[in-house]
Structure formats: structure tokens, C-alpha cells
A and B are shown apart, each in its own frame.
Chain A
């Protein structure tokens, strides 16, 4: 019987990954990383890690000589020494590096708190570029990218609003079939309600709808929540009441929000959360038409428990 420290390290790493994932789910921190829709996928990853750990611990104590031939025989690739590492060969610096690399996310994951994305990330993502859809100087490109963005951000819900020209009946027709009745009802509420209340669930759909046809919603009352984002070139009374839309994980976060105007805007620090009421207007930003909110009433609030938005998935019925 011989204790194999490298195999033991691997076992420790596997169980650490499993505990790391289980812990995230247990504390609910997981939703600071991924869309809750995919929680079950990451839970199954935790279970697979646990399973692999249980298998790996059988290798920690080896009664045979250190290099087990049977492992090697079936893996078909041990003749390419460096491409496949069984963890049985002598310890080298190279191995230390690759081991450190695998341990690295575990260390940062346990040590550092998960952070809710803030205005600086919005800035890096080119918030106003994406909001005004004029990111690409080439007009052909711009259109492509805009169309594409909407596909990404809104998933299946986008179909209808994707159509830039109302005359494009073909696309509208096919996309209409995908919409569920509930979604229709929600969109009807947007058309008819006295005050447009943007709750987390419908935020992105309504945002998309309003942005697509700004003039239709001009003059309507709106109520929304978001964090303060400011960019160079804004006037003192301007800010964006913004939210992050997470399709999958925070790496794919897209920023959505309304350019807003009110006298006290300069007093508000970026990243502070506000609840605001106002009236929708139309403005141009660097040549692009976009909605803006003339805020009539606002208050500062604490960061909500669920800071992110998730796109609506529409059941195919």
C-alpha cells in the first residue's frame, strides 16, 4: 500500500469543486453568477464531481507499483506523454503550475465575495453604444449587430420586435406563432395600462417594445427601478436608469435601461439604486433615436435582492 499524494490532490480538487458548487446553490449565491433557469445544470455538475471524487479516492492508495499499466492501456494516448497526465509520473514544476491553475478558481471562489456587476462593467460593455445601437460605424454592420443583439438578449421573445420595418410581414407571421397567450396578454397590458410598471419579469420585453416604437409610447407614464449609470458626454441632468439582462451567466450580461433626465441627477452617484416615475419622451443620442424618461418623482432605494433581469422564455404552443 502506497499513498499517492498526486492522486490525493486530485481527489481533493474534485470534492472541492463539488462542495464549491453545492455551497453556491445552498447559499443562493449561484444566482449572482448564472441565470436561475440553468441552476439544475450546475447542480448536476456538482453531482458528477462528487461521483468522480468517489472514483478518484480509490486511486489514492495503490497496492501496485506506482504506474498502473491498466489505466494507460485503455487511454490510448499515453505514448504522447505530455498530452495526457495520469497523475502517476514524478512530480514536476509543470505539474505544479497546472495544479495551481485548477486550484485558482476554487481559491478565488471561496475567498472573494461574488460581486454584482456595476456601472464600470456597463461602461466597458459600451452601454450607450448598445443602447443606441449605433456601435458600428458601417451602416450595414450596424444593422446586423443590432438585429443580432436582440436575438441574444431576448431569446425567443424577441421575434416580433426584431422586425425593424413593419412591412416585413413574412417574419412577423412566423414569429407570431411562437408566442404564448400569456405573453400576448402582458403585451396588451403594455398597450392599455395607465401607468407602465416595469417589474423584473417583463422589464426586458417592455424595454424592447418601447425602444422599437418610441413614438407610440411617447407621453405615457412609466415606473421603473434600476441603478444609476453615467457616461462621459452626459449633461449634468442626465443618467441612465439601467439593469443588466443575464441570458446565461453574468459574462453575457447585456445592459438595458432608459436615458433619464431630472434636475437632481447630478446628485446621484453611479451604482446607487433608484425607483423612479416619469413620462416617456423621445430624444436622439449621437444620431440614434431612443426613448428617454422625464422623471417626475424618484427615491433612492437599497440594492434589490435580485439585481439582474432574465429574458422571458416563451413556450412553443
Chain B
């Protein structure tokens, strides 16, 4: 009886929600003609929405996979495969990160658990750097965003992996302790193993997790898309070229932009590609490689887990490595 009411209630809730939206839609469409906004606002809105519409499928696939991994793969699995030798472990963690299709939104908590359980902090960082950058969805979206051209996708992955390796090795040379905030070590509550629950339960919580993940990063995506659209509508190519006249400064400009925008790596290829009429390949690569590794949102999340000094050091190491490698490859190519 109770069950019946409950299931009917769900149906009703669903129908109520859909009709509420449709009602709102019809009211809105009847009054929308009365708005007279400057055309630049409409341009801004159109570009903003187009970035969003284009990236939404990738974000959704991303959150679903993230949910899948969070629920079905435990940190124990990854830890079992990790070798005892420190350098081997760092290399290994970069490779695991490359195979692990995480999003930078979800990776910091995972890294924290890994480090908490005794994984060397450098290996954790290696995993964090390659995880969001190198994965099938990012490869696919980069490939498509750059007009089905494999060159950008390949350089993004190849150079990204090299940079992550160098950065992780530098971290392992500089830091020995786990660098976690002391308060977190004692105060963290350990969850019981979810192994007991059935497959369907797990699937269900995976989907619920995906919804949470979507709402978590949706706002960062929307903010990023809006900012990018704003830049496109109001900043002229000439002034952008003025900031980044030379190859070095334009690379730094794009890296800075990637940091501030804090885009999800699954969707940033489209935004990176939109700058390709303004900048040559190297600054765009700076945007595409640095963005998934470190960004504003990610750094804030890291600072809540690791000591401040450590976060700043990692940030500096990654910036230097990305910049140096890009400049080296630019002069060679």
C-alpha cells in the first residue's frame, strides 16, 4: 500500500515537474517578444549557449563515467597495481591516470584518499595531472573540436603525458611526506566498504552520483562558457593579439585563461578551438594541456586537502614544466 502511494507519488511528481516547466515555457515565449536588448547581448547569449550546448553531451558522458568509476572501482584496485619503487610508482601512476577517465572535478578527493592510504604523494600528483587530461573522451572531443584533425589531439596527449611525468618526478624529489593537512588526517571519517551492496544498488548510486557530479561541475562549466563568450563578444582579436604578441607571452596568456576559466577537460577543446583563429597552435596547446592539469577550481580544492605550501609548489612546478616544454617543442618544430 505504502509502496503504491510512493510510486504513484513519483509519477505525479514527474508529471507535475514537466507540466510546470512547459507552463513556464509557454508564459515565457509569450512575453519574450517584448524584450529589446542590444544586439551584443544577444550575440553574447548565442555564443554562450552554443558553447554550452556543444559541451553538454561530453559533460554528461563525463559525469556518467565518473559515477561509474567512483562506484565500481575502488582505490584498492589501483593501489594493488602500484609498484613499491618510488620512481616506478610515479611512472605507473601517470599511466594509470592516463587510463582512468576522470574529470578534474572528481579527482582531488580520489588523490586525497590514495595518499591517505599510503600512496606516495608524487604518484598521487602524477595521477591527478594525467587523469583529467588523457582519456578517451578528451581525445575524442579534442579530435572533433579541431575539425577532425588528429594533430592537436595527439600533441595534447603526448606532450601532456611528458609534462605530467616531469612534474611528478620533480614533486617526488622535493617532497617526501604526504603533505596532507594534519587536521584532515585525524578528522577524516572512513567509510565502510561498499562491497556488500548489490549490483543494482551500485548502479543506482552511480546514477545518483552522476547527478550530483553534474550539479557540482555544471556551475563551473556555465561560468567558463559565459566568460569565454564574453571575451569573444567584447574583446577584439586585435587587443588579444596585443597581450600575446610573441609566442611566449601568448602562451602565457592562454595558460592564464585556462587557469581562470577552470573548464572541464571534456569540454575545453571546443573553447580552445574557438581561439584558434587568433592564436597559433602552441598557445592553444598551452591552454589545452595546462587547463586540465591545474585550474582555479582544482587549486582551491587541492588547498582544502594539502598544505598551502605544497599546493603553491605544485602549481609553480606545473606552470614551469608546461611552459618550458611548449617553448622547446615550438623552437624544434
Given the known interface contacts A112-B45, A313-B148, the answer about A126 and B109 at a Cβ–Cβ threshold of 8 Å is no
Given the known interface contacts A102-B219, A110-B25, A124-B236, the answer about A250 and B17 at a Cβ–Cβ threshold of 8 Å is no
Within 8 A of B (CB), among A259-283: none
A83 touches B301 (CB 8 A): yes
A29 to chain B, nearest CB (A): 10
B211 touches A154 (CB 8 A): no
A288 within 8 A of B: no
Within 8 A of A (CB), among B77-106: 106
A51 to B14, CA, bound (A): 12
Q: Which has the most chain A C-beta neighbours within 10 Å: B54, B201, B207?
A: B54
A152 to B274, CA, bound (A): 9
B53 touches A12 (CB 8 A): no
B45 to chain A, nearest CB (A): 5
Q: Which residue of B lies closest to A69 (CB)?
A: B191
A10 touches B211 (CB 8 A): yes
A71 within 8 A of B: yes
The prevalent SS among residues of B at the interface is helix
> Which chain B residues lie closer than 8 Å to A55 at the CB level?
204, 207-208, 211
B216 touches A126 (CB 8 A): no
> Which chain B residues lie closer than 8 Å to A144 at the CB level?
280-282
Q: Which one, A34, A155, A158, contacts B50 given CB within 8 A?
A: A34
At the interface with chain B, which of A19-27, A188-196, A210-218?
Answer: A19-27
A85 to B28, CA, bound (A): 30
A14 touches B53 (CB 8 A): no
> Scoring B residues 207 to 250 as 1 if CB is less than 8 Å from chain A, else 0, what string do you get?
11111111110110011011011001111111001000111000
B211 touches A105 (CB 8 A): no
A252 touches B29 (CB 8 A): no
> Which chain A residues lie closer than 8 Å to B39 at the CB level?
115, 118, 120
A70 within 8 A of B: yes
A8 touches B46 (CB 8 A): no
B147 touches A154 (CB 8 A): yes
A80 within 8 A of B: yes
A138 touches B246 (CB 8 A): yes
Q: Which one, A41, A86, A102, A117, contacts B222 given CB within 8 A?
A: A102
B48 within 8 A of A: yes
A121 within 8 A of B: yes
> Which chain A residues lie closer than 8 Å to B42 at the CB level?
112-113, 115
**How many chain A residues touch B (Cβ–Cβ < 8 Å)?**
101
A76 touches B110 (CB 8 A): yes
A111 to B51, CA, bound (A): 18
Q: Which residue of A lies closest to B152 (CB)?
A: A151
A129 touches B237 (CB 8 A): yes
B192 within 8 A of A: yes
At the interface with chain A, which of B56-64, B120-128, B131-139, B313-321?
Answer: B56-64
Given the known interface contacts A33-B46, A84-B212, A148-B280, the answer about A111 and B32 at a Cβ–Cβ threshold of 8 Å is yes
A207 within 8 A of B: no
> Which chain B residues lie closer than 8 Å to A1 at the CB level?
6, 9
> Which chain B residues lie closer than 8 Å to A51 at the CB level?
207
> Which chain A residues lie closer than 8 Å to B14 at the CB level?
11, 53-54, 57
B280 touches A136 (CB 8 A): yes
> Which chain B residues lie closer than 8 Å to A59 at the CB level?
208
B237 touches A80 (CB 8 A): no
A100 to B6, CA, bound (A): 30
A313 to chain B, nearest CB (A): 7
**How many chain B residues touch A (Cβ–Cβ < 8 Å)?**
108
B289 within 8 A of A: no
B60 touches A49 (CB 8 A): yes
Within 8 A of B (CB), among A69-116: 70-77, 79-80, 82-87, 98, 101-102, 104-105, 108-115
B71 within 8 A of A: yes
A118 to B214, CA, bound (A): 33
Given the known interface contacts A12-B21, A48-B64, A118-B43, the answer about A251 and B13 at a Cβ–Cβ threshold of 8 Å is no
B32 touches A42 (CB 8 A): no
Given the known interface contacts A71-B208, A155-B147, the answer about A42 and B245 at a Cβ–Cβ threshold of 8 Å is no
A121 touches B304 (CB 8 A): no
Given the known interface contacts A251-B47, A251-B232, the answer about A83 and B113 at a Cβ–Cβ threshold of 8 Å is no
B146 within 8 A of A: yes
Given the known interface contacts A49-B60, A121-B233, the answer about A109 and B49 at a Cβ–Cβ threshold of 8 Å is yes
> Which chain A residues lie closer than 8 Å to B64 at the CB level?
48
Q: Which one, B53, B188, B218, contacts A102 given CB within 8 A?
A: B218
B147 touches A153 (CB 8 A): yes
A79 touches B188 (CB 8 A): yes
A258 to chain B, nearest CB (A): 18
A85 touches B216 (CB 8 A): yes
Q: Which one, A84, A111, A120, contacts B35 given CB within 8 A?
A: A111
B191 touches A101 (CB 8 A): no
A137 to B244, CA, bound (A): 11
B17 touches A57 (CB 8 A): yes
A51 to B28, CA, bound (A): 25
The list of the 5 closest CB pairs from A to B, nearest first, reads A126-B237, A77-B109, A155-B147, A249-B50, A33-B50
**7 A–B contacts from the bound complex (CB under 8 Å):** A12-B21, A76-B70, A77-B70, A115-B43, A138-B247, A247-B145, A251-B50
Known A-B contacts: A52-B60, A126-B278, A251-B51. Give 16 more (CB < 8 A): A21-B56, A54-B14, A70-B201, A71-B212, A74-B202, A79-B188, A104-B226, A118-B43, A120-B43, A126-B237, A141-B280, A145-B279, A151-B147, A247-B147, A248-B145, A248-B273
B interface with A by C-beta (< 8 Å): 6, 9-10, 13-14, 17-18, 20-22, 24-25, 28-29, 32, 35, 37, 39-43, 45-54, 56-57, 60-61, 64, 70-71, 106, 108-110, 112-113, 144-149, 151, 184, 188-189, 191-192, 194, 197, 201-202, 204-216, 218-219, 222-223, 225-226, 228-229, 232-238, 241, 245-247, 270-271, 273-274, 276-282, 284, 301, 304-305
